[in-house]
Amino acid sequence: MRTTVLITLLLPATSLAHFGLNYPPWRGESLTPTNTTISQWAYPCANVQSNGTRTPWPLTGGSVEVDLHHPWTYMFINLGFGPVVTNFNVSLNPGGALVNETGNGTLCYNHVALPGPATLGLTVTDGMLATLQVVTVGQTGSALYNCADIIFTSNATLLSSDQCTNSTGVSAQAVSTATNSTGSGSSATASGSSSSSTSSSGAGVLSRPSGTFLTVAAGLLGLIAYL
């Protein structure tokens, strides 16, 4: 039974490309073919350990840039607090939505906002340590991981507009569920901003996915983590 699940998940996985975390810079090269210990399939951080270097990140959140190579992928930006993070339990997805990215190249969010203290259960202060985890998930549920170590710093800055760009043809949309469909069950649809829309109005058009969709997504990630 477990073998069947493994085969189902891993076979399509081998045909997928991988992704890079450009900013904050990842812990280290996770696309290396020479070190077989390192694998982007490995939860939570591709088996790449922290090397002690941390990128200063603003107290209210900062820039995130990824380099993607698939026709499309779901993407999660997570955060965990502390010097050695094992629980990436803070979701930083823009608009709180499940994100569906389309296209090959860089996707950059100038300001990925942190939730408030009530949601975090703590107040972010100068010098706090944390680790960002970016997860991409393909249609089969196979997930890839990369991590970046950060230090919250009051005078840290966002990337400038020439450092933070979306490649031509790269965009991301919020996935929402149609809870009102006439058929049996709900179907997923995409809505939201494209790379050409203005960032100031971006959050407004993002809608939250239903709990069910997130539960399914979280379940898949949990299963993958377990395997």
Ligand X SMILES: *[C@@H]1O[C@H](CO)[C@@H](O)[C@H](O)[C@H]1NC(C)=O
Residue ranges in contact with ligand X by CB under 6 A:
17, 25, 27-28, 35, 37-38, 47-49, 51, 53-55, 69, 72, 87, 89-90, 94, 100, 102, 104, 107-110, 120-121, 149, 155, 157, 164-166, 171-172, 175, 178, 180, 188, 190, 193-195, 199, 202
17 lines the binding site for Cu ion (CB under 5 A): yes
46 lines the binding site for Cu ion (CB under 5 A): no
DSSP one-letter string for the chain = -HHHHHHHHHHHHTT----EEEETTPSS----SS-TT--TTSTTTTTPPP-S--EEE-TTEEEEEEEE-SSEEEEEEEEEESSS-----EE--GGGSEEEEESSEEEEEEEEEPPPHHHHTS---TT-EEEEEEEEE-TT--EEEEEEEEEE-TT--PPPTTTS-PPTT-EEEEEEEETT-SSSS-EEEEES--TTS-HHHHHHH--PPPHHHHHHHHHHHHHHHH-
Q: 3-state class of 212 per DSSP?
A: helix
- Find which of Cu ion, ligand X, none residue 111 binds, CB within 5 to 8 Å per kind: none
**Binding region for Cu ion (CB under 5 A) out of 18-26, 71-79, 100-108, 126-134:** 18-26
**Binding region for Cu ion (CB under 5 A) out of 16-24, 89-97, 98-106, 173-181:** 16-24
- Find which of Cu ion, ligand X, none residue 180 binds, CB within 5 to 8 Å per kind: ligand X
- Find which of ligand X, Cu ion, none residue 18 binds, CB within 5 to 8 Å per kind: Cu ion
130 lines the binding site for Cu ion (CB under 5 A): no
CA distance 77 to 88: 9
Q: Which is nearer to ligand X, 92 or 224 (CB)?
A: 92
Q: 3-state class of 214 per DSSP?
A: helix
**Binding region for Cu ion (CB under 5 A) out of 14-22, 116-124, 177-185, 188-196:** 14-22
Q: Which of 16, 98, 107, 159 binds Cu ion (CB under 5 A)?
A: 16
Number of Cβ within a 10 Å radius of residue 126? 12
- Find which of ligand X, Cu ion, none residue 16 binds, CB within 5 to 8 Å per kind: Cu ion
CB of 144 to Cu ion, least distance (A): 6
Q: Which of 10, 12, 18, 113 binds Cu ion (CB under 5 A)?
A: 18
